[in-house]
């Protein structure tokens, strides 16, 4: 019984005997346990990712074969959306707007922040639960309501929101009823994120184990910490903007409606005097930090997995942490680089270009540190590690192709083309989503006590890696050819788009085949719950505190509050008995 | 299972969970109202003409409301102070007064609103009234929310005082922080909308 | 025997129908010609060069649709309808046949049309290029939908009666049509011969209105007896 984890385990067994039993509803549905909520978030996030992906697969049909009726399922969508199986532009717009909204706000954020944050963060800091368990539950159910509102909006007359995930005014103000639903849904989602963020922050500050100073935090904890600050401070302006747009739509105000706006040849009868660019400012004041909300947890996950599987401490941990904090701060003053197209003045453009170039430095520091961490390691290429290593070049492509977009002069010709789509998808899809997949494979044993199947995992990885690139690489080509990213028919009506039309077919087949390669994952995910290889508390021989808890951890996590004695990544310490020295082990 | 530092203070941070939580929440609220104020400035500076607040709004009524809210902040502090001195009876009186003053504020606001609607000056009339209704409406929601929480501590929530007076006092303090914030927002709103 | 019996029944019903006052009287007709007074202004042809696909469909310049005159200055595209005097409370079922709006040569055909509440509104795309149909009603919900090249037909209906409003294409700004939604079948649109005919009316006194998209409306009061045919001419002019 020299291993403290064993002690904890044994005491837990004794403890369990007088543990109160909760009913099914309180235990699995309206639970206040951070692990159950984390799993709820993850499942919800995964389902929405799948749903958002399906919307995109429909769009890809229209882009590859514009105007051709969709075989087999084309008739299911009704005459208002796809008469005879041919997609109407409005339905394409619905799909586009909802794909973006769902992937960002209901897919990646719930999984990366709500799911991993909730499940892993309290365990990693040695806390029994979140600081405010009831608020935590409220946060999940608020997300759930927001998600249902978004889904419900597909069934209102005129369909779901069609003004893009950015909902630019004035288009969004004069759009159909779906947009009102979108706004109400967003208010639920924002509430969820705010409640979640203040919970994470309080938990991290207050409930970290004894001896776990900030510089002993695993990088994942730091990533979630900074992310929570971004959510806390960036979302309220979007909430304000949402309220104003709701007022514009419902109460007839003109916050975003300029005077004398002509729609279909008729002057709109509103008071006018509003400012359409104001919406963009408020939206991007959220949405740029949101980009970091999407990427920072991913970096955190990748850092954990790389340190664990190279059996080495992270290279430049301190520099990474400082970069992270700096990144978080800078992300609040770069938003207008999304808005060079609004014709902003040179002084303002110069400011935002400068900050944009500056913000790339800490990102590069983190990515480089992760890359250098591989140097000289005895790397174990298991599924989580494969995804984590693939993250590095994929995110690298995404990041580097973003540089021309940060400069006014090169952004203007590229901004409304497929180049932008390719750029940010490289950041989010093979970037963040790969990291999230890595995280699922990595922490699955903690949640279930079993490993996911490695062979299926590797098939999933190989297929995803290949086809991610088949999907997005052609978009750079299409984008550089100048094809607008908002055309429902991929530009088939324009002569200049003709030379690149065949790339859309390649891209689309890539997307559908990537869909096929998610099937092993889905199967693996459910199959392994009962049939995966049974493992102990610390299957990856990791150093961080979450591995001290039993797998799966009981309500309350640790029978005895753990204590941190050292930094997070004490791997291969010279002279140590084994190649890892857990944080919670007294020397 | 109990969450640590719900009641007692963590030594190295010097705070309990609730206090960090409420301050973080207020930080996000600052961003919410900050964004609205920023929008107000942008719309106003971009508009060729802008009515002075007192030509459209009722300044004496709003002054009265300002006094009401400031007084309610004082009674809120007194309610908390009574709890600190373990005088539950006086707490009830002061907390009751705080809730009542909140009501007075809402009733005055109701008369202001109904007057505007009666003369056809709804939020769609012009952008000044649009921002007026949005800001004061959102503020009213906050007043109402604060009143609900305060009413809970005045009524059913007060049972906690019997079992854990320290925790209850902390909760009232946190709700008080929110109430002061709501008051502060009004102190910014009043000159911005009514006087400038 | 059975066949003969049913035939007898049919005859009886026919007699009953023809003999009943409601139907027998509903045979009055108002007709007339609409003419344009004065010198027709020269209108600029439609400028279709914004979309080469449209311009290619026409050999020469496309005449404006705002004012279409026949020989003898008869006016086409005038909507004439019974605006007052119909019996209150009487309902007229919507015809089963749809009203068709075609998009041909990047123009709406017909330019002016009436439809009954609930009657199917069939929108065709004979051009085989992307069009957009955007109705601009005040009472009914706006219909605003793109019609891609390969979608040949779409259908909608109008739920409420409404005065004449415009239909536009957001892709081709010159495309314009007008539609009025009625609760009854007593409306008519003139062709280039300027002739309109409203038939099937009961005996009574009616106010009829003639409408032109730029020259406004004119009204006239007509009294018809059972199975009368009255003529009422309208004259529009530029002031």
Q: Which domains does chain A have, with CATH numbers?
A: 34-259+272-548 (1.20.210.10)
Interface check for B118 against chain A (CB to CB < 8 A): the answer is no
**Which residue from B3, B4, B127 is facing A254, i.e. has the nearest CB?**
B127
Please indicate, yes or no, if residue B55 is contained in any of the structural domains. yes
With an 8 Å Cβ cutoff, are A84 and C134 in contact?
no
Q: Which of A227, A225, A235, A236 is nearest to A203 (CA)?
A: A225
Q: Which of A283, A292, A294 is nearest to A339 (CA)?
A: A283
CB–CB of B42/A278 below 8 Å?
yes
Q: How many domains does chain B have?
A: 1
Q: Which of A58, A104, A125 is nearest to A85 (CA)?
A: A58
- Name all chains with 3 or more CB-CB pairs below 8 Å to chain A: B, C
Q: B136 to chain A nearest CA, in Å?
A: 13
CB–CB of A102/A151 below 8 Å?
no
Please indicate, yes or no, if residue B172 is contained in any of the structural domains. yes
Q: At CB < 8 Å, which residues of chain A contact C? A: 66-69, 79, 83-84, 86-90, 157-158, 264-266, 488-489, 493
Q: At CB < 8 Å, which residues of chain A contact B? A: 128-133, 135, 194, 197-199, 201-202, 205-207, 232-237, 239-241, 243-244, 247, 251-255, 270-271, 273-275, 278, 281-282, 285, 555-556, 561
With an 8 Å Cβ cutoff, are A128 and B1 in contact?
yes
Residues A550 and A538: their CA atoms lie apart, in Å, by 9
Residues 6+ apart with CB under 8 A from A473: A422
**Which residue from B3, B25, B138 is facing A131, i.e. has the nearest CB?**
B3
Find chain A residues with C-beta within 8 A of B6's C-beta: 131
CB–CB of A287/A330 below 8 Å?
no
With an 8 Å Cβ cutoff, are C170 and A264 in contact?
yes
Pairs of residues, one from chain A and one from chain C, whose beta carbons lie less than 8 Å apart: 49
Per-residue model confidence as pLDDT tens digits over A62-72: 999 998 999 99
* Position C20 confidence tier, pLDDT thresholds 50, 70, 90: very low
Give me the residues paired with residue A213 across strands.
Answer: none
Please indicate, yes or no, if residue B134 is contained in any of the structural domains. yes
Helix (H) or strand (E) holding B43: helix B17-45
First to last CA, chain A: 15
Residue A126, classed as helix, strand or coil, is coil
**Which residue from A83, A158, A265 is facing C151, i.e. has the nearest CB?**
A83
- Collect the ranges in chain B with pLDDT lower than 50: none
Find chain A residues with C-beta within 8 A of B122's C-beta: 251-252
Map tokens 């919406």 to a residue. A279
With an 8 Å Cβ cutoff, are C149 and A67 in contact?
yes
Q: Which of A308, A283, A124, A108 is nearest to A200 (CA)?
A: A124
With an 8 Å Cβ cutoff, are C155 and A66 in contact?
no
Find chain C residues with C-beta within 8 A of A488's C-beta: 146, 148
With an 8 Å Cβ cutoff, are B36 and A199 in contact?
no
CATH classification of the domain holding B187: 1.20.120.80
Residues A41 and A120: their CA atoms lie apart, in Å, by 12
**Which residue from A67, A265, A266 is facing C148, i.e. has the nearest CB?**
A67
Pairs of residues, one from chain A and one from chain B, whose beta carbons lie less than 8 Å apart: 135
Question: pLDDT: is C16 or C207 the higher one?
Answer: C207
CB–CB of B194/B56 below 8 Å?
no
CB–CB of C111/C149 below 8 Å?
no
Q: C8 to chain A nearest CA, in Å?
A: 46
User: Which ranges constitute the DSSP H helices of chain C?
Assistant: 2-19, 21-25, 52-55
Please indicate, yes or no, if residue B4 is contained in any of the structural domains. no
Map tokens 């092993």 to a residue. A520
Which whole-number Å values give the CA distances from A573 to A317, A318, A570, in the listed order?
Answer: 16, 18, 6
With an 8 Å Cβ cutoff, are C149 and A266 in contact?
no
Q: How many residues are present in chain A?
A: 587
Helix (H) or strand (E) holding A263: strand A262-263
pLDDT over 60 (residue C86): yes
Q: At CB < 8 Å, which residues of chain C contact A? A: 53, 129-130, 132, 134, 136, 141, 144-151, 153-155, 166, 168, 170, 173
**Which residue from A128, A271, A556 is facing B125, i.e. has the nearest CB?**
A271
**Which residue from A132, A205, A255 is facing B39, i.e. has the nearest CB?**
A255
With an 8 Å Cβ cutoff, are C145 and A84 in contact?
no
Residues 6+ apart with CB under 8 A from C90: none
Instruction: Report pLDDT for C4.
Output: 54
Which whole-number Å values give the CA distances from A41 to A35, A107, A144, A507, B29, in the listed order?
Answer: 10, 9, 9, 30, 25
Please indicate, yes or no, if residue B1 is contained in any of the structural domains. no
Instruction: Report pLDDT for C127.
Output: 92
Give me the residues paired with residue C180 across strands.
Answer: C114
Range of the domain at B190: 17-195
- pTM here is 0.91
Please indicate, yes or no, if residue B5 is contained in any of the structural domains. no
Instruction: Report pLDDT for C26.
Output: 65
With an 8 Å Cβ cutoff, are A88 and C168 in contact?
no
Please indicate, yes or no, if residue B21 is contained in any of the structural domains. yes
Find chain B residues with C-beta within 8 A of A255's C-beta: 39, 43, 127, 130-131, 134
Residues A320 and A367: their CA atoms lie apart, in Å, by 9
pLDDT, one tens digit for every residue, chain A (587 residues):
344 444 444 444 444 444 567 888 888 899 999 999 999 999 999 999 999 999 999 999 999 999 899 999 988 998 889 988 999 999 999 999 999 999 999 999 999 999 999 999 999 999 999 999 999 999 999 999 999 999 999 999 889 999 999 999 999 999 989 999 999 999 999 999 999 999 999 999 999 999 999 999 999 999 999 999 999 999 999 999 999 999 999 999 999 999 989 888 788 888 888 999 999 999 999 999 999 999 999 999 999 999 999 999 999 999 999 999 999 999 999 999 999 999 899 999 999 999 999 999 999 999 999 999 999 988 999 999 999 999 999 999 999 999 999 999 999 999 999 999 999 999 999 999 999 999 999 999 999 999 999 999 999 999 999 999 999 999 999 999 999 999 999 988 888 999 999 999 999 999 999 999 999 999 999 999 999 999 999 999 999 999 999 999 999 999 899 999 999 999 999 998 899 999 999 87
φ, ψ of residue C158 to 5 degrees: the values are: -115, 135
Closest alpha carbon within chain B to A253 = B124
First to last CA, chain C: 72
φ, ψ of residue A237 to 5 degrees: the values are: -60, -35
* Position C27 confidence tier, pLDDT thresholds 50, 70, 90: confident
Please indicate, yes or no, if residue B144 is contained in any of the structural domains. yes
Q: Which of A203, A211, A165 is nearest to A185 (CA)?
A: A165
- Determine which of A264, A490, A492 to mutate to test the interface with C (most C C-beta atoms within 10 Å): A264
- Determine which of B28, B126, B142, B181 to mutate to test the interface with A (most A C-beta atoms within 10 Å): B28
Per-residue model confidence as pLDDT tens digits over A216-265: 999 999 999 999 999 999 999 999 999 999 999 999 999 999 998 988 87
Question: pLDDT: is C22 or B143 the higher one?
Answer: B143
With an 8 Å Cβ cutoff, are A488 and C145 in contact?
no
Give me the residues paired with residue A210 across strands.
Answer: A563
Closest alpha carbon within chain A to B36 = A240
Q: Which of C72, C83, C69 is nearest to C161 (CA)?
A: C83
Give the burial class of A80: count Cβ atoms within 10 A of its Cβ; 0-12 exposed, 13-18 middle, 19 or more buried.
Answer: middle
With an 8 Å Cβ cutoff, are A206 and B27 in contact?
no
Closest alpha carbon within chain C to A68 = C150
With an 8 Å Cβ cutoff, are C130 and A83 in contact?
no
Helix (H) or strand (E) holding C132: strand C131-135
Closest alpha carbon within chain B to A273 = B47
Closest alpha carbon within chain B to A133 = B3
Give me the residues paired with residue C114 across strands.
Answer: C180
- Determine which of C53, C54, C146, C156 to mutate to test the interface with A (most A C-beta atoms within 10 Å): C146
Find chain A residues with C-beta within 8 A of C166's C-beta: 265
Q: Which of A164, A107, A63, A162 is nearest to A511 (CA)?
A: A63
For chain C, percent of residues with pLDDT exceeding 90: 66
Interface check for B121 against chain A (CB to CB < 8 A): the answer is no
Question: pLDDT: is B22 or C145 the higher one?
Answer: B22
Side-chain-facing half-sphere of C182: CA atoms under 13 Å: 20
């Amino acid at each position: 019984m020299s291993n403290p984890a064993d002690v904890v385990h044994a005491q837990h067994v004794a403890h369990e005997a007088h543990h109160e039993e909760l009913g099914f509803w309180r235990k699995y549905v309206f639970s206040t346990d951070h692990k159950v909520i984390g799993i709820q978030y993850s499942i919800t996030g995964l389902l929405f990712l799948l749903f958002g992906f399906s919307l995109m697969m429909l769009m890809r049909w229209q882009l590859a074969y514009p105007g051709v009726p969709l075989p087999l399922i084309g008739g299911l969508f009704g005459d208002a959306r796809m008469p005879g199986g041919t997609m109407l532009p409005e339905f394409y717009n619905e799909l586009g707007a909802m794909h973006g909204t769902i992937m960002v706000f209901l897919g990646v954020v719930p999984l990366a922040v709500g799911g991993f944050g909730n499940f892993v963060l309290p365990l990693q800091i040695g806390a029994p639960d979140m600081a405010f368990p009831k608020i935590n539950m409220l946060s999940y159910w608020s997300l759930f309501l927001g998600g249902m509102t978004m889904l419900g909006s597909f069934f209102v007359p005129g369909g779901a929101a069609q003004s893009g995930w950015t909902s630019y005014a004035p288009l969004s103000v004069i759009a159909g009823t779906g947009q009102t639903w979108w706004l109400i849904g967003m208010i639920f989602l924002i509430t969820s994120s705010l409640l979640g963020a203040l919970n994470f922050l309080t938990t991290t500050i207050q409930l970290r184990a004894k001896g776990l100073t900030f510089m002993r935090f695993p990088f994942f904890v730091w990533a979630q910490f900074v992310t929570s600050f971004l959510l806390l401070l960036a979302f309220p302006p979007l909430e304000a903007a949402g309220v104003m747009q709701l007022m514009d739509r419902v109460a007839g105000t003109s916050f975003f409606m300029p005077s004398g706006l002509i729609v279909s040849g008729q002057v709109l009868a509103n008071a006018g005097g509003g400012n359409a660019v104001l919406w963009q400012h408020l939206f991007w004041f959220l949405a740029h930090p949101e980009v970091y909300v999407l990427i920072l947890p991913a970096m955190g996950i990748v850092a954990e997995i790389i340190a664990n599987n190279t059996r080495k401490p992270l290279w430049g941990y301190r520099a990474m942490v400082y970069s992270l904090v700096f990144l978080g701060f800078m992300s609040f003053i770069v938003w207008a680089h999304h808005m060079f197209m609004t014709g902003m003045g040179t002084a303002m453009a110069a400011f935002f270009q400068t900050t944009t170039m500056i913000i790339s430095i800490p990102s590069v520091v983190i990515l480089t540190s992760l890359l250098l961490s591989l140097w000289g390691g005895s790397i174990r290429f298991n599924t989580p590690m494969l995804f984590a290593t693939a993250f590095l070049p994929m995110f690298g492509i995404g990041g580097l192709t973003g540089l021309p977009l940060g400069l006014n002069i090169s952004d203007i010709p590229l901004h409304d083309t497929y180049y932008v789509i390719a750029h940010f998808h490289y950041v989010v899809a093979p970037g963040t989503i790969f990291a999230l997949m890595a995280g699922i494979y990595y922490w699955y044993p903690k949640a279930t006590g079993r490993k996911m199947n490695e062979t299926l995992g590797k098939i999933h990885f190989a297929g995803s890696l290949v086809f991610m690139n088949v999907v997005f690489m052609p978009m750079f080509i299409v984008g550089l050819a100048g094809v607008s990213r908002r055309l429902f028919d991929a530009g088939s009506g324009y002569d200049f788009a003709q030379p690149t039309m065949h790339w859309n077919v390649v891209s689309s087949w890539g997307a559908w085949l990537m869909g096929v390669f998610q099937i092993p994952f889905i199967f693996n995910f459910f199959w392994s719950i009962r049939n995966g290889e049974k493992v102990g508390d610390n299957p990856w021989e990791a150093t961080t505190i979450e591995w001290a808890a039993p797998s799966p951890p009981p309500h309350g996590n640790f029978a005895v509050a753990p204590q941190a004695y050292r930094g997070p990544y004490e791997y291969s310490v010279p002279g140590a008995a084994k190649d890892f020295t857990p944080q919670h082990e007294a020397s | 299972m109990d969450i640590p530092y719900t009641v007692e203070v963590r030594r190295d941070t010097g705070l309990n969970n609730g206090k960090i939580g409420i301050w973080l929440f207020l930080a996000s609220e600052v961003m919410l109202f900050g964004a609205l104020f920023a929008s107000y400035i942008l719309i106003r500076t971009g508009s060729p003409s802008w009515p002075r607040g007192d030509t459209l709004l009722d300044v004496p009524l709003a002054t009265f409301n300002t006094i009401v809210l400031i007084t309610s902040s004082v009674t809120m502090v007194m309610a908390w102070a009574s709890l600190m001195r373990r005088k539950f009876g006086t707490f009830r009186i002061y907390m009751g007064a705080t809730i009542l003053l909140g009501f007075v504020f809402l009733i005055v606001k109701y008369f202001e609103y109904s007057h505007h609607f009666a003369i056809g000056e709804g939020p769609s009339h012009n952008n000044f009234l649009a921002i007026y209704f949005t800001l004061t409406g959102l503020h009213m929601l906050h007043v109402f929310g604060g009143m609900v929480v305060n009413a809970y501590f005045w009524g059913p929530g007060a049972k906690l005082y019997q079992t854990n007076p320290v925790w209850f006092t902390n909760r009232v303090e946190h709700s008080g922080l929110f109430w002061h914030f709501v008051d502060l927002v009004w102190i910014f709103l009043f000159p911005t909308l009514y006087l400038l | 025997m059975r066949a003969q019996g049913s035939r007898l029944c049919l005859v009886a019903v026919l007699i009953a129908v023809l003999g009943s006052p409601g139907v027998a009287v509903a045979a009055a007709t108002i007709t007339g010609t609409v003419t344009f007074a004065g010198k027709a202004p020269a209108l600029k042809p439609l400028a279709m060069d914004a979309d080469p696909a449209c311009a290619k469909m026409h050999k020469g310049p496309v005449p404006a649709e705002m004012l279409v005159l026949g020989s003898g200055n008869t006016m086409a595209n005038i909507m004439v309808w019974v605006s007052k005097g119909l019996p209150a409370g009487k309902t007229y079922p919507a015809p089963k046949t749809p009203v068709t709006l075609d998009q041909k040569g990047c123009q709406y055909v017909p330019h002016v049309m009436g439809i009954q509440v609930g009657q199917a509104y069939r929108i065709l795309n004979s051009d085989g290029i992307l069009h957009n149909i955007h109705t601009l009603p005040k009472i009914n919900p706006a219909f605003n939908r793109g019609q891609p090249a390969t979608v040949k037909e779409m259908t909608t209906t109008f739920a409420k009666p409404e005065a004449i409003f415009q239909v536009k294409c957001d892709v081709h700004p010159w495309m314009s049509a007008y539609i009025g939604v009625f609760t009854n079948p007593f409306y008519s649109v003139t062709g280039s011969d300027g002739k309109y005919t409203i038939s099937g009316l009961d005996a009574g006194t009616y106010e009829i209105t003639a409408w032109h998209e730029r020259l406004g409306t004119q009204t006239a009061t007509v009294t018809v007896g059972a199975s009368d045919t009255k003529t009422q001419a309208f004259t529009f002019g530029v002031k």
